[in-house]
Chain A
Amino acid sequence: MTTDTQHADTWAASPAGGRAGFTALAALTAAALVGALYMVFLYAPREREMGEVQRIFYFHVASAWLAMVAFAVVFAGSILYLWRGRLRHDRWAAAAAEIGVLFTTIVLVTGPLWARPVWNTWWTWDPRLTSSLVLWLMYLVYLVLRGSLPESPRMRQFSAVYAVVAFADIPIVFFSIRWWRSMHPVVVSSQGMNLEPEMVHTLVAACVAFTLLFALLFRLRLGVERARLEAQRLRRILLERE
């Protein structure tokens, strides 16, 4: 018979905040999303030149913001894991990566959807959008790397190393793409918007709502992971008894 190893994190047994905290978060997120939707469609004024399709911009920017936040969490979790070796930090990184892919995908989908009616082209090679594409690739590679190795400290270490390298790279990627684009200025530009104060409010609301959504999804994902680890632990105990 085996005793639980010191290695296993006890966080698996007690989720932070408990059920009440989770329900509160879920309720708050729902309220924020409803509020943001209201503001996006009803409160914010119609943009002078682009029309209704401009409303996509709020989701686009909010998602881009979250994509970066998520990667920062991946980086923080990874570097903490390399430093301390605590499982929980690796779980944060993995969960944040999955959610980050989601938000980056939204960015990459809303970008062309917005560009086509406004500038008559699907892809504008806008520096920020192009950098988001590279970011999206890095997320995918991170997840593929995790998937190609069996669960072990080695897998977690490797993915942490990749995350650290990728995160250090992102600013340089952004600047290089921007310089690359500045050599071939193109007519389309996302600066072609007239920003009114209500729009700024709406943007902030969208960002807040999405941030809460991120927190909710993050907790959900960690909860699933906890359950999985617990099941694994119990199975192992059963196997040891045989």
Chain B
Amino acid sequence: MSILRLAAWVAWKDLRLELRTRQNFLTTLLFAFIIIVVFNFAFDPGSRAARESAPAILWVAFLFAGILSLANAFAMEREEGCMLGLLLAPVPRGVIFLGKFLANLAFQTAVETLILPIFVVFFNVRFAGGFLPFLLVVLLVNVGFVAVGTLFSAMTMGLRLREVLLPILLFPVIVPVVIAGVKATALLFQAPAAPGWIHWVKLLAGFDLIFVVVCYAVFRFVVEEAA
């Protein structure tokens, strides 16, 4: 059975579980919404400062909400000991990573899709640079963020301090992704759209490629003891 198909099955299992409970999804959604609302109060409504900070606030909301849900990505494996089942199976360890990664990616994208309209309404945003380029940026940021986040989530899975350890592990490493995401978004909000967003897209694509591969390769050291 090919690696992708096996990973797809692992992802299917996680998405099924999430659809059943919806608990993680709803709380993450609510958290992102709250961040956007609260940050709104930091600015005078409709002011230039508010408009210029909009991209930053959007990504703060997306990433902080994302980190909270990533912290629980392996909750089932931890609580019910289900990781054992996955490790006993005759699948390469990287498949477990890929499956979780795909499920988390779908989850993150779904949350963002629902938050985006609220954001557009509150900040009166116009996608002068085109909506599709913006979607591309969001997707690329998600891939990088979720890839490294899934790896570190597995690492902190059994640790007492995981809720604070995951952010401090993850955020310094995804600095390039944050910069690229916010900058590209800012460029795409401008009217007329400034060129140059494409450079950030290239950076994101490079980051994604490197880190999906690296995280896939080192995942096994996080879930099993080598020598």
**Are the C-beta atoms of B226 and A161 separated by less than 8 Å?**
no
- Which of A13-21, A151-159, A204-212 contacts its partner? A151-159
A114 to B145, CA, bound (A): 36
What is the CB-to-nearest-CB distance from A6 to chain B, in angstroms, rounded to a whole number? 11
CA separation between A183 and B197, bound complex, in Å? 12
Q: By CB atoms of chain B within 10 A, which of A134, A138, A169, A175 has the most?
A: A169
Q: Do A179 and B225 touch (CB < 8 A)?
A: no
Q: A158 — nearest CB in chain B belongs to which residue? A: B155
- Is there an interface contact between B176 and A176, defined as CB atoms closer than 8 Å? yes
At the interface, yes or no: A68 with Cβ under 8 Å from chain B?
no
Closest to A157 in B: B221
Q: A161 and B203: CB pair below 8 A?
A: no
Given the interface pairs A148-B159, A179-B199, the reply to whether A165 lies near B175 with Cβ below 8 Å is: no
- Please tell me if the beta carbons of B165 and A145 are within 8 angstroms of each other in the complex: yes
Instruction: Check A169/B173 contact, CB under 8 A, given A149-B159, A164-B214.
Output: yes
**Residues 170-201 of chain A, each 1 if its beta carbon lies under 8 Å from chain B, else 0:** 00110111011001000000000000000000
Q: How far is the CB of B169 from chain A (nearest CB, A)?
A: 6
Whether B172 pairs with A141 at a CB distance below 8 angstroms is: yes
Interface residues of B in 64-102 (CB under 8 A from A): none
A169 and B169 contact, Cβ closer than 8 Å, known pairs A84-B227, A160-B221, A175-B203: no
Shortest beta-carbon distance, B167 to chain A, in Å? Answer: 10
CB distance from B127 to the nearest CB of A (A): 20
A153 touching B226, Cβ below 8 Å:
yes
| Alpha-carbon gap, A145 to B172, bound state (A) | 14
Residue of B nearest to A149 (CB): B159
Q: B222 contacts A161, CB within 8 Å? A: yes
Determine the residue in chain A with the shortest Cβ distance to B183. A180
Residues of B within 8 A of A176 (CB): 175-176, 179-180, 203
CB closest residue in chain A, given B173: A169
Task: Say if the beta carbon of A144 comes within 8 Å of chain B.
Answer: yes
Question: A-side binding surface: helix, strand, loop or mixed?
Answer: helix
By CB atoms of chain A within 10 A, which of B161, B169, B200 has the most? B169
Interface size bracket, B side? 20 to 34
The answer, yes or no, to whether B118 is at the interface (CB within 8 Å) is: no
Shortest Cβ distance from B226 into A: residue? A85
Q: How far is the CA of A21 from the CA of B179 in the complex (A)?
A: 48
CB distance from B210 to the nearest CB of A (A): 6
Against A, the Cβ 8 Å flags (1 = close, 0 = not) of B16-42 are: 000000000000000000000000000
Q: Is the CB of A82 within 8 A of B221?
A: yes
Q: Is the CB–CB distance between B218 and A177 below 8 Å? A: no
CB < 8 Å neighbour of A173 from B176, B200, B218: B176
Query: Could you say which residues of chain A place their CB within 8 Å of the CB of B168?
Result: 141, 144
Q: Is B211 at the interface (CB under 8 A from chain A)?
A: yes
Q: Name the residue on B nearest A172 (C-beta).
A: B176
B46 at the interface (CB under 8 A from A): no
Q: Which residues of chain A come closer than 8 Å to B148, judged between CB atoms? A: 165
Partner of B169, one of A145, A154, A180: A145
> Is the CB–CB distance between A157 and B183 below 8 Å?
no
Complex Cα distance, B226 from A153, in Å, reads 8
Residues of A within 8 A of B225 (CB): 153-154, 157
Answer yes or no: B12 CB below 8 A from chain A CBs: no
Q: Is A168 an interface residue (CB 8 A)?
A: yes
For residue A168, which residues in chain B have a CB less than 8 angstroms away from its CB? 210-211, 214
User: Nearest Cβ in chain A — how far from B218, in angstroms?
Assistant: 5
Q: Are A165 and B221 in contact (CB under 8 A)?
A: no
- State which of B159, B175, B183, B218 has its C-beta within 8 Å of the C-beta of A164: B218
- For window 171-191 of B, CB contacts with A under 8 Å fall at 172-173, 175-176, 179-180, 183
Binding site for A on B (CB under 8 A): 148, 151-152, 155, 159, 161, 165, 168-169, 172-173, 175-176, 179-180, 183, 196, 199-200, 203, 206-207, 210-211, 214-215, 218, 221-222, 225-227
Q: List 5 A-B contacts (CB under 8 A).
A: A161-B218, A165-B215, A172-B210, A177-B179, A179-B179
Ranked 10 nearest A-B pairs via Cβ: A85-B227, A176-B176, A137-B172, A172-B176, A176-B179, A157-B221, A180-B179, A161-B218, A169-B173, A161-B221
Given contacts A134-B172, A161-B221, A165-B173, 7 further A-B contacts (CB under 8 A): A138-B172, A148-B165, A154-B225, A161-B151, A169-B176, A176-B176, A176-B179
